[in-house]
Amino acid sequence: MRIAVYQTPSPAGDLPAGFDILDLALTNAALADADMLVMPELFLPGYNAVTATPPEGWDRVMTQVQDMCKRHDCALTIGLPDYDTKAVYNAAYAISATGEALAKYRKLQLWGARENALFSPGDGLVTFSYGGTKFGLAICYDIEFPEHARALARAGVAAILTPTANMMPHINVNLIQVPGRAMENGISIAYANYTGSEGDLDYVGHSVISGPDGYPMAAKGMGAGLLVADLPTGLGENGIPYSTQLSDYRPAKPPMN
């Protein structure tokens, strides 16, 4: 299973520009023989451009995204707002290379005053299988909670696909926390971030596909572009197994007062 991540500036509310970026990303992912492309959080219309009501033309967005997947023969995980009848959710959608819906996940851990004012939180984790690989979904702040990644690992996922919109000064998440989360669970994490600025936000870039040993299989600095990596199978480098904490874990009694 070959995973691609696309790091890009936000379309910042410009839907046609966002579709142009997505088309380029899918083109490059298909040329790299990627099976699944991961885009950033709330990529359409842009993380800092989401409003409480759908923008003009929003009713056609999912159809266009699905048609793009079919045209490029590449599956996609993308962050989009989920405009439900009674609430708005920060969501990630997984779509197959034939344009079929694979999964939808609503962000559990809302970050900051704006997200908590605009979105309702999700209420459950999501897994799905594609191309013989079991995936979990997370969005940005979700991956910073070890409980969620551990629950997905215990559910048997090989990788967590994570659209994100991580901004300064939180670069330690990209460089330390995400690789550590992959290593402690013996799974891969594909973490797709923005670069550049959007309104009052300066994104840190540094998208990464971390392997089960915590080392980056592919990583970006601040530039835009595609990352590609093949998900590992079996033993780690030189036949050394990946982390065995999942099988070795021994519950402890709560600490005494």
Q: Determine whether 107 is an active site residue.
A: yes
Rounded Cα distance between 118 and 107, Å, is 12
**What is the full DSSP assignment across 169-230?**
T-HHIIIIIHHHHHHHHT-EEEEE-B-SEETTEEB----EEE-TTSSEEEE--SS-EEEEEE
Place of tokens 């998208």: 207
For residue 251, pLDDT over 90 is answered with no
pTM assigned to the model:
0.95
The pLDDT value recorded for residue 168 is: 96
**CATH (domain of 144):** 3.60.110.10
Print the domain residue range for 240. Answer: 2-248
Residue 244 to residues 215, 216, 236, Cα–Cα distance (Å): 16, 19, 12
The pLDDT value recorded for residue 60 is: 95
Per-residue model confidence as pLDDT tens digits over 31-72? 999 999 999 999 999 999 999 999 888 999 999 999 999 999
Identify the active-site residue in 69, 74, 140, 220.
140
Identify the active-site residue in 107, 115, 198, 220.
107
Q: Judge whether 48 lies within some domain.
A: yes
Q: Judge whether 257 lies within some domain.
A: no
Q: Judge whether 84 lies within some domain.
A: yes
Per-residue model confidence as pLDDT tens digits over 201-212? 999 999 999 999
Q: Judge whether 35 lies within some domain.
A: yes
Instruction: Please give the backbone phi and psi of residue 81, each rounded to the nearest 5 degrees, phi first.
Output: -70, 145
Q: Judge whether 215 lies within some domain.
A: yes
The pLDDT value recorded for residue 57 is: 87
Q: Judge whether 176 lies within some domain.
A: yes
Q: Judge whether 254 lies within some domain.
A: no
Q: Determine whether 86 is an active site residue.
A: no
Per-residue model confidence as pLDDT tens digits over 6-33? 999 999 999 999 999 999 999 999 999 9
Per-residue model confidence as pLDDT tens digits over 71-109? 999 999 999 999 998 899 999 999 999 999 999 999 999
Rounded Cα distance between 126 and 128, Å, is 7
Per-residue model confidence as pLDDT tens digits over 122-179? 999 999 999 999 999 999 999 999 999 999 999 999 999 999 999 999 999 999 999 9
Helix (H, G, I), strand (E, B) or coil at 113: helix
Rounded Cα distance between 18 and 115, Å, is 21
Residue 124 to residues 12, 140, 159, Cα–Cα distance (Å): 29, 15, 17
Rounded Cα distance between 127 and 105, Å, is 9
Per-residue model confidence as pLDDT tens digits over 208-244? 999 999 999 999 999 999 999 999 976 555 555 677 8
| Mean per-residue pLDDT, 192-201 | 97
For residue 117, pLDDT over 70 is answered with yes
Q: Judge whether 240 lies within some domain.
A: yes
Helix (H, G, I), strand (E, B) or coil at 231: coil
Number of folded domains that form the chain: 1
Rounded Cα distance between 143 and 204, Å, is 16
Q: Determine whether 41 is an active site residue.
A: yes
CA angle (41, 141, 86) in 5-degree steps: 65
CB 186 within 8 A of CB 245: yes
